[in-house]
Structure 1
């Protein structure tokens, strides 16, 4: 599916399944582009960190629903374990 290029996160690239869903839902896509790169990263990580394909599909659907409803981060998600907690500044920063 072509169309506008969507922004990714700070650690994770936007996966194809989430990109397709965002492109199909203009309100969710607008919310996606309005949130910070770190917030986008949280949505991506929350979506891709599951083990089962069915759960991932549910996360994509929920992400679209939640973004459309104005939520800026996944609910009850402790955060992406793949990014540095210090923002890349180092322990002494």
Structure 2
């Protein structure tokens, strides 16, 4: 069985570790598919902004939890600073 297609964001491509986490969590994946590309971009940027591997792993877990809880943007995140740019 092939893995589901998981779209990225507006500016950011979906990193492999976040893609794997979402693909393995049906509830989070359904919510991910329901939010806008701009909202997905915010989650991706938040994960990618982590400086340490442990922080990144926590943010990936929290992304799944927030999506399961119905949140459409990362909690306590000021927003993607790359949003206005044409590249990452």
Query: What TM-score do the two structures reach when normalised by structure 2?
Result: 0.92
After superposition, where does 1:3-18 map in structure 2 within 5 Å? Answer: 3-18=3-18
Residue-by-residue CA offset, 1:38-73 (whole Å, 9 max, x unaligned): 000000000010100000000000000110111110
| Deviation of the 1:75 alpha carbon | 0.8
Where does structure 2 lack aligned partners over 5 or more consecutive residues? none
Equivalent position SS for 1:72:
coil
**Greater relative contact order (CA < 8 Å, ≥ 6 in sequence):** 2
Aligned to 2:44: 44
Aligned to 1:83: 83
**Shift >2 Å, 4+ stretches:** none
Aligned to 1:24: 24
Q: Mean alpha-carbon deviation: is it higher for 76-85 or for 66-75?
A: 76-85
Count of residue correspondences: 85
Aligned to 1:91: none
What value does the CA root-mean-square deviation take over the aligned residues?
Answer: 1.3
Equivalent position SS for 2:10:
coil
| Deviation of the 1:76 alpha carbon | 1.2
2-side partners of 1:71 and 1:83: how far apart?
Answer: 20
Q: Mean alpha-carbon deviation: is it higher for 76-85 or for 30-39?
A: 76-85
